[in-house]
Amino acid sequence: MQRRELLKAMVAAGMLPSAGLLSAPARAEVTRYEGPVYLVLFASGGWDVTSFCDPKDGLIQPSGSGSAVRINNWSASEPIQSAHGIDYAPFADNASLFTNHGNKMLVLNGLDAQTNAHSAGVRHVFSGRFADGYPAVTALAAAQHGAGLPLAFLSNGGYRETAGLTSFSLMQDPSTLGNLVNTNEPQWGAHQYHRPESLGLMDQYRQARMDRLQARATLTRRLSQASEYMENSAAGRDQLKTLNQYLPETSAPTVDADGNWFPLLRQIQLSLVSMAAGLTVAADVVHWGFDTHANHDSEHRVALRNLAAGVDYLWQEAANLDSAHGTNLTGRLRVVIASDFSRTPWYNDGAGKDHWPIGSAVLMQNGGFSRAVVGQTTATHDALGLDPNLEASETGTILTPAHFQTLLRHWSGTNTSAYQQLFPLDDSGLDLRALV
């Protein structure tokens, strides 16, 4: 059976939620979503975790080099720090980040992306395999929990493959967003374009039109899929009005402390607003600036500083919304921070660092996890295997993106038999589920 047919069969059998394109039209009244919400922060370009959550303060002798060199320049002046059981590098704004938010974290070190090519790394880390076609966990969560929600999956970039399960939305400009909340309301003049009774007739026509279109068995899939997307989109549109209650009076800035373009806070703000409104299950936000092949220390310092600012803003803003609206976002937030891979444990000739497959990922939730850190690497940042108790072992299993994604699916309630059948992952050797 083909994947699509399998999907249809599963929907028909009630094994899959009906948010996807293959589902019956989402005509029923949908209530606001109040379950866990998932936010994936993509540190684009390959972050240096040895200057972040897997700190290295030693020396290394790069292949072909005659002498040992520092893995990180910061180690010449400051030792590795620790907070809430997490070792971190005394670099950028790591101290405030780990001190203030380390109690919410689970750090996964030694995550082996098994590549140093950007696109392959992103695909592998965020889908669990190198080949195309597997959905991002945010897309899975939106499809699983967001049936009928108009903005179930928000994406600002990064890996956002949906595998046909749902569609993503980009939400950027809050000032214009207001015009889209009630499209029957003119910006000035009369109260409405169409009377409710007339709109009722028009909506009846639209529904019948969709039924006719979708009954045409000979239509190409592309057109019939497009009509299904359209129908689902239209069905969810009325719920956008809820956003009005949560839209902020002040938009988050889009420049950083140095005045440079930095849209992460705005992305986070709008994602939280939509989550608070009960319209969004999952969101991808993106932070650029980590691909520091030259001038690594200065450029990575800025990138990590801004990343810390983003994480801090995320929890602050969630608390603000909770305070204003009683939305309990703080308790519902599930946050993932990850990157393509990491960077070499040495500097190149241009004071930069190139690509390195061994990296880390960070999970966050209010109240933290049973453990603060899982996974280890050597002093020169090679991955160590893990035994069944998740302790480092020379004969253990190296942590791979497949293990990581299995964990995320479990955490997000998407590790269903249906999805396992559709998108199987080779996660043999390690079971991380007890961590969350």
DSSP state at residue 392: E
- Helix H or strand E segment including 86: strand 86-88
Residues in a beta bridge with 112: 358
Q: Which is nearer to other proteins, 12 or 208 (CB)?
A: 208
Q: Which is nearer to other proteins, 280 or 330 (CB)?
A: 280
For residue 425, the minimal CB distance to other proteins (Å) is 12
For residue 192, the minimal CB distance to other proteins (Å) is 5
Checking DSSP bridges between strand 358-365 and strand 342-343, what pairing results, if any? unpaired
300 touches 48 (CB < 8 A): yes
Checking DSSP bridges between strand 333-339 and strand 358-365, what pairing results, if any? antiparallel
How close are the terminal C-alpha atoms of the chain, in Å?
A: 34
Q: Which is nearer to other proteins, 207 or 328 (CB)?
A: 207
Q: Which is nearer to other proteins, 172 or 323 (CB)?
A: 172
Q: Which is nearer to other proteins, 52 or 423 (CB)?
A: 423
For residue 288, the minimal CB distance to other proteins (Å) is 7
Q: Which is nearer to other proteins, 47 or 411 (CB)?
A: 47
For residue 57, the minimal CB distance to other proteins (Å) is 19
For residue 278, the minimal CB distance to other proteins (Å) is 14
Q: Residue 407: which of 143, 68, 128 has the closest Cα?
A: 128
Q: Which is nearer to other proteins, 70 or 237 (CB)?
A: 237
Q: In angstroms, how far is CA 412 from the centroid of its own chain?
A: 11
CA within 13 Å, CB half, 409 = 26
For residue 220, the minimal CB distance to other proteins (Å) is 5
Q: What CA–CA distance (Å, rounded) separates 142 from 154?
A: 9
264-300: b or e for each residue (b if 16 or more CB lie within 10 Å)? bbbbbbbbbbbbbbbbbbbbbbbbbbbbbbeebbebb
284 touches 40 (CB < 8 A): yes
395 touches 386 (CB < 8 A): no
406 touches 133 (CB < 8 A): no
For residue 83, the minimal CB distance to other proteins (Å) is 30
Q: Which is nearer to other proteins, 223 or 379 (CB)?
A: 223
Q: What is the DSSP string of 237-263?
A: HGGGGGGGGT--SSPPPSB-TTS-B-T
Q: Which is nearer to other proteins, 237 or 410 (CB)?
A: 237
For residue 86, the minimal CB distance to other proteins (Å) is 24
For residue 424, the minimal CB distance to other proteins (Å) is 8
For residue 295, the minimal CB distance to other proteins (Å) is 9
Tokens of 401: 């993106």
Q: How many other β-carbons are positioned within 10 Å of the β-carbon of residue 5?
A: 10
Q: Which is nearer to other proteins, 165 or 321 (CB)?
A: 165
